[in-house]
Amino acid sequence: MEIKIGVRNIGRELNIETDQTAEQIEKNLREAGDDGLLVIEATQGRRILLPAGSIGYIELGQEHARPVGFGFSGE
């Protein structure tokens, strides 16, 4: 799933690809509160740590992206 995070006082948003579900991200954000850290397990083994109080918004994308490609009909 793709996550876009807007950070306060920063003009660019963070784009993160993760295998976590939307429910897991929401739960982690609630647990972080205003003073804690939001921890996101990104793909390729990265961990993103964000101070929860600095988050302006979080946009959650589709959890299961549809595969893109060309089919072969065999005709």
Domain map (residue ranges) of the chain: 2-60
Residue 21 CA: distances (Å) to CA of 61, 64, 67: 10, 10, 18
CA dist 62 and 23 (Å) reads 12
Q: Going residue by residue through the chain, which has 75 residues, state the pLDDT in tens, using 9 for 90 and above.
A: 999 999 999 999 999 999 999 999 999 999 998 789 999 999 988 999 999 999 999 999 877 655 666 666 555
The reported pTM is 0.74
Token representation of residue 60: 């959650």
